[in-house]
RNA sequence: GUCCUCGUAGCUCAGUCGGAUAGAGCAACGGAUUCCUAAUCCGUAGGCCGUGCGUUCAAAUCGCGCCGGGGACACCA
């Protein structure tokens, strides 16, 4: 009898692996085939067939290896079939199918085994060690401290946080980091914007600075500045660099808002990394020296941008310091120094990412808005230049969020200061709706967020749909007590209906869903899984009485229902969404 | 012009980094309620997977070329 807790998929991998070993031993196949299997480098796969009649698992091994063996695929498949060890075959029926697939049908007895496994492992079910203890740093949000978060930032926030949760679940050591761009030109703009509103509030208005942030929040900061410093800054000019004391207060207040928004969505960071520390601690000079020493910097003239017309006056023929990004696959060499002698944002970003690498993470993940997509190559290029490591950094890009209400689009414009903030949306719909909804699409696809639907208590609202499935699980159990029915262990063999076996199969796929969502950095896979699971459960619930009079059957169905509730709860937990027991 | 991204049912999108007869939700149409929450479910209909070539035993998936949408393209971040 196979051990409880061993995932079915692993057993099938074992079957195929041992079968191949034997064929190698018999000289049918060359030894190399074993080196790769079941790693990533092989074409040989064990997968879940779409078609149910094709079984629970299927392998293409014979199709892939037919040429190497000099045999027809079906003949090789037949050899593989007879080479598989009988001791692992308990409850698994294998057959040759199609052009040379070997299909594995798992018996109902074996399938049902997952129910006690889920109930035993509880909150741990779905967790694994597939991540192999890797140290991963996920950097996300990193919204500039120049204004409140908008919904687009929110999407990045949820995406990053759930990627981090998923990676933890598969056994990675994950840390979350927020990069604060608290140095640079946009911060000066913020400072001047505050001074402008400050003078306005004190009754000494001036012309607004050429570039300024129009939002209400700037006025709030100005008021706070008055409260703290009174008229101290009235004589300060609105051009040039604003005083540090003013800028720092502004950053502190804006970051306070951002932190509280994140807090409302239960997003916690391990590190808040300030760009200023890079400048202060010489990180940038270190990077420049390193690049210089490796002949990765040269002086050159920047090619004019291709996308727009450049007037002759605008044209810049100046020699400047460029990083040889083209050596690492980027389209152009990128500037490291501004005309005023200060480093570019890119230079700081190299230093920042190099700093991450030096902290010893085996993997870096950045979540950016899609509008920064053009930036991916150069940062990856720089990181490779600094560390010699390729593919250390994964960048996940999130597309825009369109807010709608009653079918009409809610217009957002940062320039006009009328954008709808994340805070407003959170107050309107709540964290659960926002978190779940932001993951109902792959991050690369645009997303419509319907404010009305997201807070509606209807089956059209995917959040409620899944949460309600969970609530139902508990509602049945309450009913059981209410009626004073006995809660016996039940006989799982009584679960013979097609719907029951399908539900059980789906429960068994939860761990691999978590794993694939984590490894591919695609949290939406989990969202889809939960919606499917909820749908299947609702269907089952509607067509079968859980609280049957027969205690044996009742107990079995209750176990299935509880296992389903467990999986939904675990899944929602990975999404950071609550699993209410009643609604 | 270059790079990124997307193109799948009327609409919004999945499709597990090549698998066997391409899925879901919404919308449309037809049903289910003396019953554990109808906040739910069941059924019908709907497709040249943008397009052409190529790679392969096998392509919605990979490569190249077009077509179309979105985004990014010098010392802003």
- Read off the pLDDT of residues A105-128 as tens digits, 9 standing for 90 and up: 999 999 999 999 999 999 999 999
What DSSP character marks residue A576? T
| A 561-580 residues, CB < 7 A, strand B | none
Give the pLDDT of residue A316: 64
Give the pLDDT of residue A86: 84
Tokens of A208: 């607004």
Look up tokens 């199918």; give the residue.
A97
Short-list A138, A133, A127, CA closest to A173: A133
Statement: residue A5 has pLDDT above 70: no
Statement: residue A413 has pLDDT above 70: no
C1' of B33 to CA of A543 (Å): 13
Give the pLDDT of residue A306: 65
Could you check: is the Cβ of residue A516 within 7 Å of any atom of nucleic acid strand B? yes
In terms of phi and psi (left: phi > 0; alpha: psi -120 to 50; beta: otherwise), the region of A415 is alpha
Give the pLDDT of residue A329: 81
φ, ψ for residue A557, nearest 5 deg: -65, -40
Calpha distance A104→A509 (Å, rounded): 15
Q: Is residue A25 exposed (0-12), middle (13-18) or buried (19+ Cβ within 10 Å)?
A: exposed
Q: Is residue A563 exposed (0-12), middle (13-18) or buried (19+ Cβ within 10 Å)?
A: buried
Other CB atoms closer than 10 Å to residue A189's CB: what's the count? 17
| A 44-83 residues, CB < 7 A, strand B | 45, 47-51, 53-55, 58, 60, 63-64, 67, 73
Statement: residue A437 has pLDDT above 80: yes
Look up tokens 């930036």; give the residue.
A375
How many whole angstroms from its chain centre is CA A52?
30
Tokens of A109: 């007895």
Nucleotide nearest to A303 (CA to C1'): B74
- Strand B: which bases are under 7 Å from protein Cβ? 1-6, 12-17, 19-27, 32, 35-42, 57-58, 70-77
C1' of B48 to CA of A148 (Å): 48
Could you check: is the Cβ of residue A464 within 7 Å of any atom of nucleic acid strand B? yes
Give the pLDDT of residue A430: 93
Average pLDDT over residues A473-487: 92
C1' of B12 to CA of A12 (Å): 37
Tokens of A384: 């490779």
- The enclosing H or E element of A334 equals strand A334-335
Can you tell me whether residue A402 is helix, strand or coil?
Answer: strand
Short-list A109, A14, A108, CA closest to A59: A14
Calpha distance A408→A83 (Å, rounded): 63
Short-list A175, A177, A170, A182, CA closest to A128: A170
C1' of B40 to CA of A544 (Å): 13
Statement: residue A440 has pLDDT above 60: yes
Calpha distance A370→A152 (Å, rounded): 10
Give the pLDDT of residue A411: 63
Short-list A406, A405, A398, CA closest to A420: A405
Please state the ipTM of this predicted complex: 0.94
C1' of B49 to CA of A444 (Å): 19
Could you check: is the Cβ of residue A356 within 7 Å of any atom of nucleic acid strand B? no
Residues A243, A236: contact at Cβ < 8 Å?
yes
Residues A221, A250: contact at Cβ < 8 Å?
yes
Calpha distance A472→A540 (Å, rounded): 12
For chain A, the distance separating the N- and C-terminal CA atoms, rounded to the nearest angstrom, is 42
What are the pLDDT digits (tens) for A517-573?
999 999 999 999 999 999 999 999 999 999 999 999 999 999 999 999 999 999 999
φ, ψ for residue A467, nearest 5 deg: -65, -35
pLDDT confidence of A4, banded at 50, 70, 90? very low
Q: Which position has the higher pLDDT, A370 or A35?
A: A370
Residues A127, A171: contact at Cβ < 8 Å?
yes
What are the pLDDT digits (tens) for A208-240?
888 888 888 999 999 999 999 999 999 999 988
Calpha distance A541→A535 (Å, rounded): 10
Q: What is the CA radius of gyration of chain A?
A: 29
Give the pLDDT of residue A126: 95
Average pLDDT over residues A495-524: 93
Calpha distance A496→A552 (Å, rounded): 13
- Hey, which residues does A343 pair with through a beta bridge? A337
Look up tokens 């490291």; give the residue.
A336
Statement: residue A71 has pLDDT above 70: yes
Statement: residue A416 has pLDDT above 60: no
Give the pLDDT of residue A2: 36
Give the pLDDT of residue A311: 62
Task: Please state the three-class secondary structure of A215-240 as a single string.
Answer: CHHHHHHHHHHHHHHCCCCCCCCCCC
C1' of B20 to CA of A112 (Å): 27
pLDDT confidence of A374, banded at 50, 70, 90? confident
pLDDT confidence of A250, banded at 50, 70, 90? very high
Statement: residue A1 has pLDDT above 80: no
Could you check: is the Cβ of residue A43 within 7 Å of any atom of nucleic acid strand B? yes
Buried b (16+ CB within 10 A) or exposed e, A145-169: bbbbbbbbbbbbbbbbbbbbbbbbb
pLDDT confidence of A146, banded at 50, 70, 90? very high
Short-list A228, A211, A231, CA closest to A220: A228
Could you check: is the Cβ of residue A448 within 7 Å of any atom of nucleic acid strand B? yes
Give the pLDDT of residue A170: 95
CA angle A433–A434–A436, rounded 5-degree value: 65
User: In this structure, what is the dihedral angle of CA atoms A136, A137, A138, A144, given to the nearest 10 degrees?
Assistant: -170
| A 363-402 residues, CB < 7 A, strand B | 370-377, 397, 399-400
Residues A335, A321: contact at Cβ < 8 Å?
yes
pLDDT confidence of A265, banded at 50, 70, 90? very high
Average pLDDT over residues A317-335: 85
Nucleotide nearest to A65 (CA to C1'): B57
Nucleotide nearest to A376 (CA to C1'): B4
CA angle A564–A566–A572, rounded 5-degree value: 100
Nucleotide nearest to A529 (CA to C1'): B14
Task: Tell me the C-alpha to C-alpha distance, in Å, between residue A400 and each of A190, A296, A385, A427.
Answer: 24, 35, 31, 20
Average pLDDT over residues A442-448: 88
Instruction: Tell me which protein residue sits closest to nucleotide B33, measuring alpha carbon to C1'.
Output: A542
Q: Which position has the higher pLDDT, A411 or A483?
A: A483
Statement: residue A342 has pLDDT above 80: yes
Calpha distance A60→A64 (Å, rounded): 6
C1' of B37 to CA of A13 (Å): 43
pLDDT confidence of A391, banded at 50, 70, 90? confident
Task: Please state the three-class secondary structure of A72-105 as a single string.
Answer: CHHHHHHHHHHHCCHHHCCCEEEEEECCCEEEEE
What DSSP character marks residue A448? E
Calpha distance A179→A483 (Å, rounded): 56
Calpha distance A58→A269 (Å, rounded): 42
Average pLDDT over residues A410-431: 75
Q: Which residues contact A77 (CB under 8 A, 6 or more apart)?
A: A61, A62, A63, A96, A100, A101, A102
Residues found in chain A: 583
Calpha distance A63→A36 (Å, rounded): 16
Tokens of A402: 């369109």
Average pLDDT over residues A257-275: 96
Calpha distance A477→A487 (Å, rounded): 9
Nucleotide nearest to A375 (CA to C1'): B72
Q: Which residues contact A459 (CB under 8 A, 6 or more apart)?
A: A465
pLDDT confidence of A458, banded at 50, 70, 90? confident
| A 78-137 residues, CB < 7 A, strand B | 97-101, 103
Helices and strands, counts by H and E, chain A:
22, 15
How does the average pLDDT of chain A come out, rounded? 89
Tokens of A260: 């509280």
Residues A354, A283: contact at Cβ < 8 Å?
yes
């Amino acid at each position: 009898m196979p051990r409880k807790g061993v995932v079915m998929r692993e057993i099938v991998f074992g079957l195929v692996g041992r079968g191949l070993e034997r064929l190698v031993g018999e000289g049918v196949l060359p030894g190399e085939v074993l080196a790769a299997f079941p790693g990533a480098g092989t074409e040989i796969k064990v997968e879940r067939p779409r078609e149910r009649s094709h079984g629970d698992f299927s392998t293409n091994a014979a199709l892939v290896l037919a040429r190497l063996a000099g045999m027809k695929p079906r003949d090789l498949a037949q050899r593989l079939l007879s080479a598989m060890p009988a001791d692992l075959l308990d409850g698994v029926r294998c057959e040759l199918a199609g052009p040379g697939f070997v299909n594995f049908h798992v018996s109902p007895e074996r399938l049902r085994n997952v129910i006690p496994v889920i109930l035993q492992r509880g909150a741990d079910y779905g967790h694994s060690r597939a991540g192999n203890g890797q140290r991963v740093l996920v950097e996300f949000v990193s919204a500039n401290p120049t204004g409140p978060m908008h919904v687009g930032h929110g999407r990045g926030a949820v995406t990053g946080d759930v990627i981090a949760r998923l990676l933890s679940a598969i056994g990675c050591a994950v840390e979350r980091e927020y990069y604060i761009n608290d140095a640079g030109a946009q911060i000066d703009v913020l400072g001047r914007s505050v001074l402008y509103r400050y003078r306005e509030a004190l009754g000494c208005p001036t012309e607004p600075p050429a570039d300024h942030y129009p939002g209400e929040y700037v006025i709030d900061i100005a008021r706070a500045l008055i409260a703290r410093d009174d008229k101290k800054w009235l004589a300060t000019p609105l051009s040039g660099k604003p005083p540090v004391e003013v800028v720092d207060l502004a950053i502190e207040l804006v970051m306070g808002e951002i932190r509280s928004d994140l807090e409302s969505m239960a997003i916690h960071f391990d590190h808040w990394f300030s760009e200023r520390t890079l400048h202060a601690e010489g990180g940038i000079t270190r990077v420049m020296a390193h690049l210089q020493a490796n002949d990765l910097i040269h002086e050159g003239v920047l090619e004019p941008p291709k996308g727009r017309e450049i007037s002759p006056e605008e044209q810049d023929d100046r020699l400047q310091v460029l990083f040889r990004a083209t050596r690492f696959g980027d389209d152009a060499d990128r500037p490291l120094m501004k005309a005023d002698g200060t480093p570019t944002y890119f230079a700081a970003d190299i230093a920042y990412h190099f700093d991450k690498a030096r902290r010893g993470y085996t993997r870096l993940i950045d979540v950016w808005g899609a509008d920064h997509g053009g930036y991916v190559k150069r940062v990856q290029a720089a990181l490779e230049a600094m560390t010699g490591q390729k593919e250390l950094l994964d960048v996940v890009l999130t597309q825009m969020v369109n807010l709608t209400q009653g079918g009409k689009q809610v217009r957002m414009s940062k320039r006009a200061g009328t954008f709808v903030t994340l805070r407003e949306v959170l107050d309107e719909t709540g964290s659960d709706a926002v978190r779940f909804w932001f993951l109902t699409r792959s991050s690369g696809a645009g997303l419509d967020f319907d404010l009305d639907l997201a807070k509606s208590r209807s089956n059209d609202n995917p959040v409620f749909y899944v949460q309600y499935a969970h609530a139902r699980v508990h509602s049945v159990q309450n009913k059981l007590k209410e009626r004073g029915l006995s809660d016996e262990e039940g006989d799982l063999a009584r679960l013979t209906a097609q719907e029951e076996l399908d539900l059980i199969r789906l429960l068994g796929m939860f761990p691999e869903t978590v794993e694939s969502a984590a490894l591919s950095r695609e949290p939406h896979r989990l969202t889809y899984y939960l919606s499917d699971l909820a749908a299947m459960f609702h269907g089952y619930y509607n067509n079968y009485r859980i609280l049957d009079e027969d205690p044996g059957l009742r107990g079995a169905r209750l176990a299935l229902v509880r296992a389903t509730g467990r999986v939904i709860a675990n899944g929602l937990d990975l999404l950071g969404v609550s699993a209410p027991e009643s609604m």
